[in-house]
A = this chain, B = another copy of it.
Amino acid sequence: MKFETDTGITNLIISKNKGLLISKYNSSLNLLVRSNVVKTALLTGMILMFGGSSSALALGNDDYPAIRKAAEAGRAESIKRIQDWIALPSIAAENLNMMEGAEYMAKLARDAGFDHAEIVPTDGHPGVWATMDNGAERTLAIYFMYDVKQYDADEWSSPPLEGRIVDKPGFGKAIMGRGAVNQKGPEATVLAALHAMRAAGVKPPVNLVLVVEGEEEIGSPHFQQIVSRPDIMARLKQSEGIFIPIGWQNMKGNVGVNLGAKGIVELELIASGKSWGRGPEKDIHSSLKAMVDSPAWRLVQALQTLVTPDGNTPLIDGWFENVRPLSAREKELIAQAAASSDEATSKKLLGVKHWIDDLPHKDALERLASQPTVNIEGLVAGYTGPGGKTILPGRAVAKLDLRLVPNQTRAEAEAKLRAHLDKRGFTDVEMKIGGGYDPTETAENSRIIQAELETYRRAGVAATLNPRLAGSWPGAMFTAPPLSLPAGQFGLGHGSGAHAPDEYFVVESSNPNVAGVVDAAMAYVDFFYQVAKIR
């Protein structure tokens, strides 16, 4: 998923063990994960929760044992549902199986009990819109994506479309395949919850609306068209909020609940002889530097105006005008997290000896949540192979990401960066915007956040309230006007390897702290009930 989110430090360990680079969307974003701000019941094993036979009454819902029984009866089918879906990869960048994927998605929704499911055309690839009217007072919105990231089968230890069952030490049996955790596994687990409820003859306690896109992996370029369709927008506006299902429990079972996320602008700054009118249009012999200007030096000069000499604070004109400082509550949450976090392990896992300015952990975590950044993702100019090559490059590129905090906006950031460069004479330095999102915020007291926390509490799962994810996701489409919905991620279970080879999602857990597919389905069932009844 392009949603830049968090599987906790556990996943970081796993990635390291496999020798992978930390991938774009599967990283240790949430350094708060180790705390337990929300006090939880003693972890007694998930089977005791949500209607496990030995303790059904604990949950106070007479339907749970029947639903769990149905979920367990449907376990094989639930696993096969994930595998079958993995076998049909929809890849927007390659225009692969897009209509087939949308139709398959609509059928999956219908099979799970959605009374209405339709393909929604866009100027790009189609989305899906489905509704399940359960005669309930409240409506819960769900976001799905049916597309997956590209893959190179040669890099996989198991065929990426096969969804083979593999053993993941410390976790249990997992499906390995493209889309397993990003995002078909967690999504199909929501469907498994609905199948179980239907099999048990139980109507969900909330109405459900499901909005699906097939272009998530290419930056959701047409999703706004789906969300803006008047009838879809009207139903979304009526909802309590929207969630995307996830499977990001770490090895201890812990999860994070994010009250918002930073925004981002990804862009390239490009200096070139062509645009500058000085220097060479193409690479020329480096000896000519004595009489020809250098676009690479031009880029260096433009770059160094963007941040303080230590590289840590943006100096772009007006950058902090709309930056909202942390609230007292936000600081409180961070302080709590810092107090219970394991700083030494975080540093070790990240390969970092000092935080910026040698800050203590709490202050570094405040900086993480509160500060906008200008980061160099990559530099590319001229000769990039081993050794050297005596050229004067005609073009030099810096790949940047700008992380934004409330109340900055993406549009504001782009305009201010352009104005900053222009004011200093760098009108020729091109900005090639790759994509971006506004920051998001979801109120702690919203029903969806409170229902998430309550569901985790009832499952005995330590959930950390994180005032702001330092990563980014396109939630502003939901959280900003006109929708202004609470939005977040929710789910139990575990998987990893989004965008990487050997992506997996645990279906039968051998770890008492981590949910397999039945327990994760039951968590969705309970979540529906919490959304229906909370406050």
Contacts and interface: CB of A to CB of B under 8 A. Distances in A.
Nearest to A26: B285
A238 to B, nearest CB: 33
A365 B291 contact: yes
A284 B26 CA distance: 11
A392 interface: yes
B268 A29 contact: no
Contacts of A382: 376-379, 399
A389 interface: yes
A304 interface: yes
Nearest to A353: B277
A379 B377 contact: no
Contact of A300 (B27, B292, B376): B376
A396 interface: yes
Given A309-B301, A367-B290, A378-B382, A28 B264 contact: no
A296 interface: yes
A283 interface: yes
A281 B469 CA distance: 23
A480 interface: no
Contact of A368 (B262, B291, B356, B471): B291
Contacts of A392: 375-377
B376 A292 contact: no
Q: Is the interface of A mostly helix, strand, loop or mixed?
A: mixed
A59 interface: no
A311 B290 contact: no
A152 to B, nearest CB: 13
B24 A391 contact: yes
Interface string A260-272: 0010101110000
A299 B310 CA distance: 11
A510 B435 CA distance: 57
A472 B287 contact: yes
Interface in A281-313: 281-294, 296-301, 303-304, 307, 309-312
A21 interface: yes
Contacts of A286: 373, 375, 377, 401, 403
Nearest to A384: B380
B353 A284 contact: no
A184 B467 CA distance: 70
Nearest to A262: B287
Contact of A293 (B277, B297, B312, B435): B312
A533 interface: no
A22 B282 CA distance: 9
Given A285-B29, A377-B383, A388-B434, A351 B301 contact: no
B381 A284 contact: no
A279 interface: yes
Contacts of A324: none
Contact of A268 (B264, B277, B388): B388
Contacts of A254: none
B379 A291 contact: no
A364 interface: yes
A443 to B, nearest CB: 22
15 contacts: A4-B285, A21-B282, A22-B284, A285-B471, A287-B470, A287-B472, A288-B368, A289-B375, A291-B367, A300-B311, A377-B382, A379-B396, A388-B435, A389-B399, A390-B401
